[in-house]
Chain A
């Protein structure tokens, strides 16, 4: 997992897509726990994570490295080694339970109903097999077709993700592709079986900025065509603003804020999210020193009691008693808006944001 700083959102004020109607969730995660027993103790990577994503919508999961965003998504893909990871809770995809699914069933599920685009296409594609070979393998794992048919499908997919001259490129190796083309090939591979659920784990992190924008557009376009539910993992708030309908902010293995993208980016309710916005450098006016969140993310071996963010929170004095250090807040609506939830004991966080945090933002 890479640890880049949070980057500036470039188009925060984007028109939201279809409003969050009461569509049926395609992916439903409830009270997910992922733990890794290690020699040093139990690593609680994900603790009680719940969210849902309907078809045709994009959920962005944001958070620092080690906040559990990748680990939880690997669990949704059924990619954890069960001898190493303890997984509890429920992950339902299209009504089917993924936790405790048999290995055989998981094979049919992975790459078929759900597919994943990985962070670094350079290391995520096999260097010794051709691009076509790798796409065909994915297709033939779920469709009983001849090699010839699979190859036609691979060429078709390469064309759809915007790779010029796909008939020639299909027989090339990953090292003969540029970074952006490799990521397109990776996307072609993920979408070859028309998955209903697509998980993109920081798919633009390894790419330069112009290519990033192209890949984001491509994913949005393909999502529209395929009508899939997309989970987009990133630490880049600019990307979030570009692509997401909803945001889930993760900290120390739990969700601390969840809601529609314009609300969360425009008026967040959790002190950690405020910190994230404050840490974005201003691109206009006099250069100002950066405002990082003090301290560093907690070790998942020893997550702080109470609210996991309390050791770094500048607002914990506002909460009466020792609530912050003893009681973990629930993820519930904190204002009149029931479409968004946050995990903080602070009373009227929207007022605190407006009067104290907003004026400080660059």
Chain B
């Protein structure tokens, strides 16, 4: 098991490195002029040369990547206009448009996004799995049809429209905004409530459908019939025997969903004015802030490989028949 995890971590690191090199190549070697963009309209040739030098843009690409990687491990310095800016390890570059190291920017944005996504996940897991399980038990009845119909309606509404509707009509919710959890957990939660409900309810539709299908299959299994024949309560049959089997496939979907939500909460963050990763990278995109974009890519690839690993390991706990190795 430990050996397996070690192997997976090593391969995860190599995936991240390949992603980094590939996106580096795409961003920095593209026929664009990052120095010019940073320099702005009132640019002098001296200033342009200075910026190019500070970004290593004159160096061959291989050296640029080397410097970037080295910066991640030991940190580096950026000198521009005579001043030297310290960028401590793990240095992911320096954002000239924001005047801050990328690591610091990501460090500020990541807790916001994680708060949104995890809070939303609690909502959609609870709502989705419960509704799906109930619908599976009353399969074919009008209640079941109502549930399935509602999920279709919710899923048919584009996400940003749903989020806008929540923002426009759910005015009774506390004002949206990010306050660090460590300052005051209550204000943290109230500022995120609207975003949680929005992420939670839209995704709950999908999870209702997954859980319903999964539970219908699980409840039809022979071992559920065996459980009924033991004389335990119907509730215990459904929630202990059925749900235990029915949830396993849902966990796989959840792991991957979570990874995508962590990297793609742009709409939620923009509409509810939360300074998370999505907003940070979207802004960076508009301003051609390459170091920040690179940082976003790095976070995204790390989250994705980590979540995949977590799902695989979680499986060994969920299903005793699965042995990793």
Contacts and interface: CB of A to CB of B under 8 A. Distances in A.
A36 B132 CA distance: 25
Interface string A162-174: 0000000000010
Contact of B222 (A109, A110, A118, A173): A118
A141 B319 contact: no
Assign chain B's interface to a size class.
20 to 34
Contacts of B42: none
Contact of A173 (B227, B229, B320): B320
Contact of A128 (B225, B229, B234, B245): B245
Contact of A79 (B221, B223, B228, B244): B228
B320 A123 contact: no
A127 interface: yes
B229 A115 contact: yes
> Main SS of chain B's interface residues?
helix
A137 interface: yes
B318 interface: yes
Contacts of B244: 126, 128-129
A110 B228 contact: yes
A103 B228 CA distance: 11
Assign chain A's interface to a size class.
20 to 34
A79 B229 contact: yes
Nearest to A135: B230
A175 B223 CA distance: 13
A116 interface: yes
B229 A111 contact: yes
Interface string B209-230: 0000000000001110111111
A116 B231 contact: no
B225 A127 contact: no
Contacts of B234: 103
Contact of A137 (B221, B225, B230): B230
Interface string A111-127: 11001101010011111
A72 interface: no
Interface in B215-263: 221-223, 225-234, 241, 244-245
Closest 3 A-B residue pairs measured CB to CB?
A: A111-B231, A110-B231, A123-B222
Interface of B: 221-223, 225-234, 241, 244-245, 318-321
Interface of A: 77, 79, 103, 106-112, 115-116, 118, 120, 123-129, 137-138, 141-142, 173, 175, 186, 189
24 contacts: A79-B229, A103-B234, A106-B231, A107-B232, A111-B230, A111-B231, A111-B232, A112-B231, A118-B225, A123-B222, A123-B223, A124-B226, A125-B226, A126-B245, A127-B320, A128-B245, A128-B318, A128-B319, A141-B230, A141-B232, A173-B320, A173-B321, A175-B321, A186-B226
Given A110-B231, A111-B232, 17 more contacts: A103-B234, A109-B231, A110-B228, A115-B229, A116-B229, A118-B222, A118-B226, A124-B223, A124-B226, A125-B223, A126-B244, A128-B244, A137-B227, A137-B230, A138-B232, A141-B230, A173-B320
